[in-house]
Amino acid sequence: MTTLSTIPSQLNVGLMGLGVVGTGVASILLNKQESLAGVTGRPVNLKKVLVRDLTRPRVIDLPDDLLTTNAEDILADPDIHILVEVMGGVDPAESYMKQGLAAGKHVVTANKEVMAKSGPELLALARKNEASLLFEASVGGGIPIVGCLMNELAANDVISIRGIINGTTNYILTAMAQHGTSFQQALGEAQSHGYAEADPTNDIEGIDAAYKLTILASLAYRSRFQPDDVYREGISKLEPQDFQYAQELGFAIKSLAIANLEEGAVQLRVYPALLPTEHMLAKVDGVYNAVEIDGSLCGQVLFHGMGAGREPTTSAVVGDLIEAARKMGAQHASPLYINEGTTNVPVRSIDDLESRYYIRLAVADRPGVLAKIAKVLGDGQISIASVLQKDVHPETESAELVITTHPAKEAPVQKALQAIAGLEEVRRVSNTLRIEE
């Protein structure tokens, strides 16, 4: 634990991980020493770097004695004041963070999974040990959203958060919208450009976005949420026609992460949705991220920028490192950012969502089909806003119907969709998407 009387004349950093992000951080620590000393008030020295494989070729030249495969070289060194965890994964990253905090080291992390699952415990440990735990890079890469929710926007009651917080899915959806490509083609392209991993599940199924939304919502509502509280749908069911019809109706399709407070409960959801093309978030393309916060005092604030990649993420990690360095010796515990107990703001079920819907159906090309579908919807108190009839396929005698609804409750809509799928004239309920206003 650092006290005023023990503020070191030089700050030593232990870096855990030398991959995409770690290399960027190491490069700044080695090449920007003067500027770092200027903003932190003392020299900042990279003392040890933990990796898995010492023989792996590195894109950065480091002094030979800097690399280690032994975490104890960082954790057990009392002269290392700040631990930067950019290894990823839960095990052993979380345990190293805990050991670092328990030893009074300040910890900076980019690890969304650990922060989403165990952030409150880690923050409690940081408070207990009068250490900082900073995690700006865990959401939105170079976009300063975490710090803003903790500090600059903290006076607000947050009404809603809406964001595009996964660059890989946004890249895929942009390619599908702009080039009419299939999901598989767009995913292959994202992989060949290095935007998607060999196993893209976490991105395309919304798991990564759910981790990030959990972190943002926990900060915004000062409550404890878990990734499992997030209702989640992936993007793999989208087809090129959805983008074409959405465009005809005046909408873009984006994978959105949404948290909103209604009647004292928070609803958390990640899914592809239709957004009016003139909406700011509809214009966020490619690997870019954006987050819109609606606050009781600040109104709507939009953050936009590069949500991943070496340099943007390094910007967030080194920014946190500077903050931790500046706080050293301040002799106060970390503020309470999240309620560290169990959830105190209830989570609202997706069944209670009220939304407009886009429904695409393959139906028999016969008179009276639309009337039957309209009756099922009407029975569920769901009123139709518009209907497009598309692509009659003579060989299968089927047509495509695209229906948009006025606002309706999720549970009756799902029930009506089941009934519609059971109609003899309906070949397939091809897709159902929610429409965000």
Ligand X SMILES: NC(=O)c1ccc[n+]([C@@H]2O[C@H](COP(=O)([O-])OP(=O)(O)OC[C@H]3O[C@@H](n4cnc5c(N)ncnc54)[C@H](OP(=O)(O)O)[C@@H]3O)[C@@H](O)[C@H]2O)c1
Please report, as residue ranges, which positions from 280 to 319 form the binding site for ligand X (by CB under 6 A). Answer: 308-309, 313
Angle at 388 between CA 383 and CA 390, to 5 degrees: 145
Output the smallest distance, CB 49 to ligand X, in A.
Answer: 8
Output the smallest distance, CB 206 to ligand X, in A.
Answer: 15
Q: How far, in whole angstroms, is CA 223 from its chain's centroid?
A: 18
For residues 346 and 265, the answer to whether their CB atoms sit within 8 Å is: yes
Is residue 126 classed as helix, strand or coil in its secondary structure?
Answer: helix
Contact with ligand X (CB under 6 A): which of 2, 11, 14, 22? Answer: 22
Binding to ligand X by CB under 6 A, coded x per residue (else -) over 103-142, reads -------xxx------------------------x---x-
Pick from 273, 255, 258: nearest CA to 169: 255
Contact with ligand X (CB under 6 A): which of 11, 13, 15, 21? Answer: 21
Question: Is 64 among the residues that bind ligand X (CB under 6 A)?
Answer: no
Stretch that binds ligand X, among 4-12, 44-52, 350-358, 424-432 (CB under 6 A): 44-52
Output the smallest distance, CB 95 to ligand X, in A.
Answer: 10
- Can you state the angle between helices 93-102 and 112-128, rounded to 10 degrees? 10
Question: Is 163 among the residues that bind ligand X (CB under 6 A)?
Answer: no
Stretch that binds ligand X, among 87-95, 241-249, 319-327, 396-404 (CB under 6 A): 87-95
Output the smallest distance, CB 167 to ligand X, in A.
Answer: 8
Stretch that binds ligand X, among 11-19, 178-186, 348-356, 362-370 (CB under 6 A): 11-19
Question: Is 50 among the residues that bind ligand X (CB under 6 A)?
Answer: yes
Output the smallest distance, CB 289 to ligand X, in A.
Answer: 10
Instruction: Give the C-alpha separation, 275 to 283, whole Å.
Output: 10
Question: Is 144 among the residues that bind ligand X (CB under 6 A)?
Answer: no
Contact with ligand X (CB under 6 A): which of 11, 13, 18, 324? Answer: 18
Instruction: Give the C-alpha separation, 297 to 312, whole Å.
Output: 29
Instruction: Give the C-alpha separation, 295 to 291, whole Å.
Output: 13
* Burial state string for 99-122 with b = 16 or more CB within 10 A and e = fewer than 16: bbbebbbbbbbbbbbbbbbbbbeb
Contact with ligand X (CB under 6 A): which of 25, 36, 44, 87? Answer: 87
For residues 377 and 387, the answer to whether their CB atoms sit within 8 Å is: no
Catalytic residue positions, numbered: 212
How far is the CA of 404 from the CAs of 239, 355, 383, in angstroms?
A: 17, 11, 9
Residues making contact with ligand X (CB under 6 A): 17-22, 50-53, 56, 86-88, 92, 110-112, 137, 141, 308-309, 313
